[in-house]
Structure 1
């Protein structure tokens, strides 16, 4: 993704900034996870630099989301997944907000598990 390609918008930089703050992480913590400098990550958040594809994948992994959600603007990032809804809730009607809550809870559980595993290795 080059700066000239126009594939990453201001929505991306704003979204990763919001996700980082929601997670309670510093730019330095995210940068360390990504294997880049704090300055490089800061440029991603300000929209002055676009991450290479491999780093974009790691950003999505860090925030427990997918690249579509990071890259799409507005409500287009919210994709309803009827199969997932059915697998989780059967015939019960749920809206996308409930599904989003379930996904966030699953990601929190995954983060907790990873944290416990990391602590166990120390």
Structure 2
């Protein structure tokens, strides 16, 4: 039996939820979970893993490895991500990143999010 399936099954059991109900709640095919259980597939798509992780309030890393990823601690608690951190990640730390450039990236990301939500509503 697949380790990923075992972790999903454990989370279902721990939360008093049948795997079929989880699938119905998340819009995931029960066949995917059955295929995982029977070894016909090794994993699920990133989208499905993210849905399951959110549903059970665990990380995707936990589903895949059985271990939670820990965030870097700060004296105040969890590490805060600043706009400068995001700019560095998006632009690789190269050159001057203006506020206008950063705002354009945020508008683009919002547009992509809205487009995806509209696509989901069509289904």
TM-score using structure 2 length = 0.50
Change over 3 Å in CA distance of 1:58–1:14 after alignment to 2: same
**Does the 8 A contact of 1:31 with 1:38 survive in 2?**
yes
Q: d(CA) in 2 for partners of 1:47 and 1:55?
A: 17
Say which SS state the counterpart of residue 23 (structure 2) adopts.
helix
User: Higher helix proportion, which one?
Assistant: 1
- Alignment map for 1:92-107 (pairs within 5 Å): none
1:54 aligns with 2:32: no
TM-score using structure 1 length = 0.51
- After superposition, the C-alpha distances for 1:27-86 in whole angstroms (9 at most, x for unaligned) are 21111122123232222344432211111110111111111111114xxx1445451785
2:11 to 4, 9, 19: 19
Greater RCO, 1 or 2 (C-alpha within 8 Å, sep 6+): 1
Superposed structure 1 runs of 4+ greater than 6 Å apart? none
Aligned length: 77
Q: d(CA) in 2 for partners of 1:48 and 1:66?
A: 24
Q: State the superposition RMSD in angstroms.
A: 2.7
Say which SS state the counterpart of residue 48 (structure 2) adopts.
helix
Say which SS state the counterpart of residue 28 (structure 2) adopts.
coil
1:65 aligns with 2:55: no
- In the alignment, structure 1 segments of 5+ residues that lack a partner are 1-8, 89-122
Larger-gyration structure (1/2): 2
1:31 to 23, 35, 57: 23
